[in-house]
Structure 1
């Protein structure tokens, strides 16, 4: 009987501790910042981005900043219109020439906007 109470007490303590830790911990949050998008655009323009990395940042909605959400949507639209996912594995750019030019313009606009807000 003593062994049963000891096992029951240890299990109760372990399960109670796990529940207490889970109840007090918060969900991790990831906030996309302008520097993250600029780094992604630079990698895409130099043909060093993977499709997974592109989709991870561009496919995740940005709820804390409307301007960044618009930039993200524009980048997603560029991929839909000018994307060449099948040629990425061959070392070719993620976007065609027109898409590269539009992405460069979007990147420059975001950089100018970020510099303006940094002042």
Structure 2
């Protein structure tokens, strides 16, 4: 009798754990425009290191196509103008291009909250 109760309880616990794992979502990192803007500004003024730059440009921004376009542009700037030397990670030309990206980011229309 005790074995049957133990088996039933064990099965119930494992079924509950399995069900919970099936319905859990993986955490997702979602960068918003304000975060991207702050990151760009940190790079422009020489307050960001290589790790911060990598975080800024590494995650696709499928939730915001205009922001994704700016991120891809930053990747292109990186290919041509990145030095990786603190405090400024880019050449002066690259910093100016990043300033231009920041200005276009600020000029974007507000993102619709319902998306």
Q: Common fold, TM-score beyond 0.5?
A: yes
Larger deviation, residues 44-53 vs 73-82: 44-53
Residue 22 of structure 1 corresponds to: 21
CA drift of 1:7 comes to 4.1
How many residues matched?
A: 111
Residue 105 of structure 2 corresponds to: 110
In 1, distance between residues paired with 2:93 and 2:9?
65
Residue 90 of structure 2 corresponds to: 95
Check if 1:82 corresponds to 2:81: yes
> RMSD in angstroms over aligned alpha carbons?
2.0
CA drift of 1:12 comes to 1.8
Output the TM-score relative to the length of structure 1: 0.78
Q: Which runs of 5+ in 2 are unaligned?
A: none
- Going by fraction, where is helix more abundant, 1 or 2? 1
